[in-house]
Chain A
């Protein structure tokens, strides 16, 4: 007990890095974090509204899955978020900080809207949809390729580059809206091909959004297989860990960066098509709706595990849809949803900290016990 001599110099709390942590223990900590977050949300809700928090949670559940249609909206939004997160995985595994998904989605969305508007009457619907998927992927690919080329050959900062391309994409979208606006002067494009439904995803699995789900599942499976079992997937991870190691192993680092960002951008572009052709049937500056940023959280928190990504996307969308309901039910502002989601994320991300570190309190206290 020689450390008694230094008691007063020590800080009250020390962070100590954990060694290995068991899976069971890890999930217990996550579970506790989630429960605490729900309790803090409840406190906030009671504080703001004076409503019974249980009723508010019941309202959230009702809003997210309370009817067949609400379930499908929740599914639609979940998968729209999931595919963006999936698109980010290859880039993030390579430690390429692609925060430009928002712009890549918008470019894909603008491309699909253009296809719907200009080729709506010229092509049979199945061909048009195939074309929409291809062209929107190419648009997203281009938006991913640009920062990758500069990163690979000139070592530019990809975080800034992709972020700024978001603003460029936003301006292109605004221009497209003014160009296609219907009716003139309204500053909106309105529903594209509302009469003919050309370029709209057909009903699959008995739902308007069935094809969205199938496409996203297919892409998710393809990306996990690609990352886990293909040589290219391995190359990505090596480049991510250490570019020098990669070079030593005769991996063409520049080409891997460019190729991976093309894949990443293309998937985010495809997400744009799924949102525009598969759900909104219009293009607006809110088409990406912040998904490009939320997806970063989804990808990181799930450690790129596809099942975890689905679960976290589902959870976030569930809360989002639920809070639309409580907003109207309890006269809360829509911002209440942001507060609740913020609290949840705070605790969920915070719990990751406790998986890596544990806190040690001042020893004197320990002795007092």
Chain B
């Protein structure tokens, strides 16, 4: 008796569920059919009018998501572009957490299939997969941040872009140098103890260019400064960054900066009471008593300009790298609780000079390599001859030959570990 009831009730339950879900399943397939039809409509409309804003579709491939500073900055830029062009949500297809492997190719061709006329990808390792997709879709425009192969690929639909972030790093270096001067004046450290620690991601030109510009900024106000660089070998590894920052502090560094994407280093600095300069995002929330400022990108400038050009039928540059002159880089609001007196004025002065072109970050009179100027080394030939294309008029022309950073000289005053 009992058993029969159990069977009966379970059967009843099953029937009820089957009935309930049978109809939902039917609806869902119907729904799927409808959505595909709609997306096909969009695709055909898109082909017929590539310059019609209302039919435009933009695809974006992100390495991370909104929880990670680098990607968050790109997302903000895309939002700014959407707002200024009046695009709606359906016109921008964003793919997050796309790793640097064949998933990037899958994502790129999928975006192209969906009718995106213009596709951005944000991470260095995406480039070869983007090129693979670009070869298959010559009518779609592809834009790759931080890459270097667009010009040499021979494909008209591939572009590289990167901000002149080294300019903002230079300014953040000035902020750091002012802080060092304050510490020297207070007697906390001597001039010789003005040693900065730098948490780097990889020993790659992008990082070398970044830390050199930061160092040159600091040196422009605090001539005795030296710097030690240590690498984490990851773009975003919070515990490694925190650990490296502590090692640097143990190595007598009195100020920390970083080219890595997390808040690991500022957290350590807050704990150890050492001032720090961040990257991408304002670090004052995690290090209210340590963070000075952060060098940051404003990608919205590029995204807005590029999509606007695309809509207007204007050909976009193959390589794009701009800084203060168009507002593509900035330093986050100075932390009034930590920065030295007069910092705001010094930073503003440098920003203006960088914007109008009167100040060059990699001025060859401000640094030496193995005790010699870079001009002399180029004249001597050998390994340094390859820099001849970059150096003229008394400065190293960063990000002009290609948009990706190219400055990978190890200058005097900086040691790598």
Contact = CB atoms under 8 A, between A and B. Distances in A.
Interface of A: 28, 31-32, 35-36, 38-39, 54-55, 57-59, 61-62, 66-67, 69-70, 73, 183-188, 190-191, 194, 279-282, 284, 286-287, 324, 327-329, 331, 333-334, 358, 366, 369
B96 A54 contact: no
Contact of B27 (A54, A287, A327): A54
Contacts of B31: 54-55, 57-58
Contacts of A73: 106, 110
Nearest to B207: A185
Interface residues of B, number: 46
Contacts, number: 104
A333 B65 contact: yes
Contacts of A329: 93
Contact of A194 (B18, B132, B205): B132
A334 to B, nearest CB: 4
B227 interface: no
Contact of A35 (B21, B100, B129, B205): B21
A281 B34 CA distance: 36
B97 A28 contact: no
Contacts of A286: 99, 101
Contacts of B400: none
Interface of B: 2, 5-6, 13-14, 17-18, 21, 24, 27-29, 31-32, 34-36, 39, 65, 93-97, 99-102, 106-107, 109-110, 113, 124-125, 127-129, 131-132, 148, 202-205, 233
18 contacts: A31-B14, A36-B17, A38-B21, A62-B36, A66-B39, A69-B113, A185-B203, A185-B204, A186-B204, A187-B125, A191-B132, A282-B101, A282-B102, A286-B99, A328-B96, A333-B65, A333-B97, A334-B96
A188 B94 CA distance: 23
A35 B24 CA distance: 11
A32 B109 contact: no
A282 B105 CA distance: 12
B129 A32 contact: no
B65 A287 contact: no
4 smallest CB-CB distances across A and B, nearest first, come from A185-B204, A280-B102, A58-B31, A334-B97
B35 A186 contact: no
Contacts of B96: 327-328, 333-334
Contacts of B132: 191, 194
A168 B13 CA distance: 50
B24 A324 contact: no
Contacts of B110: 67, 69-70, 73
Nearest to A185: B204
B97 A61 contact: no
Given A282-B101, A333-B96, A54 B24 contact: yes
A191 B27 contact: no
B182 to A, nearest CB: 36
Given A194-B132, A280-B102, A186 B95 contact: no
